[in-house]
Amino acid sequence: MKLPRGSMLLVASHNRGKLREIAGLLSPFGISVRGAAELALAEPEETGLTFAENALLKAQAAAGESGLPALADDSGLCVAALDGAPGIYSARWAGPDKDFSIAMARVERDLKEGGARDASAKFVCALALAVPAGEAACFEGEVHGHLVFPPRGGNGFGYDPIFVADGMTRSFGEIDPGLKHAISHRARAFEKFAHAVLLP
C-alpha cells in the first residue's frame, strides 16, 4: 500500500493539535490532510483491547465513511508495575473534564498502594492507515523511560510532566517540544509508516 505525492489523506481525529502535528509530518511527502471534524465524521467507540485494534477501527470507520484513505492514531502510557495501566484507558483516566492532574495523581496513588519500587513506563503509539477498499496496516512506536512525582514542567500534554525518557533527566513536560517530537513514540510510529507507505 503506497500513498503517492498529491494524495489527500483523512486524519481520523477530532483533536486539532494532533491534526496540525500530522499535517506537518506529511507535508514534506506531498500529502495534504483533512480532519474528521471538517467532514463531520462520527467518532466510533474505542472497543478494541489493544492500541493497534483501536487505531485500526478508527481508521477503517473513517475510510469507509469518507471514501478517502484514513490515518488514525491511538496512544497512551503503560506503567510496568501497574501491569501496563492506564494503557488504552490513558485518556479515560482523566475523566470527562480531561483533567490530567487527576490521571497523574491516580498513577502515583496506585503505585504507592501497590508498594511498587519499579517506576519504569513507556509511551506507545499505534498509527493505522486504511483505504476505502478495505486494506489496512498498522505501525507501532514506543519510547521507554521512568515516572517522576510530583509532575514537572508545563510543556506538552497528558502525562508528559511525569515521564522522563531513558537517557534524559528532565521530563517531557520540561524539555523542548522539538526534542520530544524527535524521539517520541509518535515519531517512531510515523517513521515506520513513512518508510512503508510514503514516497520520498
Binding site for ligand IMP (CB under 6 A): 74-77, 90-91, 123, 156-160, 172, 184
> Which residue pairs, CB below 8 angstroms and at least 24 apart, start in 110-116?
110/82, 110/85, 111/79, 111/81, 111/82, 111/147, 114/81, 114/82, 116/81, 116/82
In the complex, what is the shortest distance from the CB of residue 106 to ligand IMP, in angstroms, rounded to a whole number?
12
Give 64 or 177: the residue with its C-beta nearer to ligand IMP: 177
In the complex, what is the shortest distance from the CB of residue 115 to ligand IMP, in angstroms, rounded to a whole number?
25
Give 74 or 140: the residue with its C-beta nearer to ligand IMP: 74
Active-site residue (options: 74, 83, 97, 176): 74
Q: Is 110 an annotated catalytic residue?
A: no
Answer whether 127's CB lies under 8 Å from 188's CB: no
Give 29 or 157: the residue with its C-beta nearer to ligand IMP: 157
Distances (CA, A) of 188 to 58, 105, 113, 162: 20, 28, 33, 20
Q: Which residues are catalytic?
A: 74
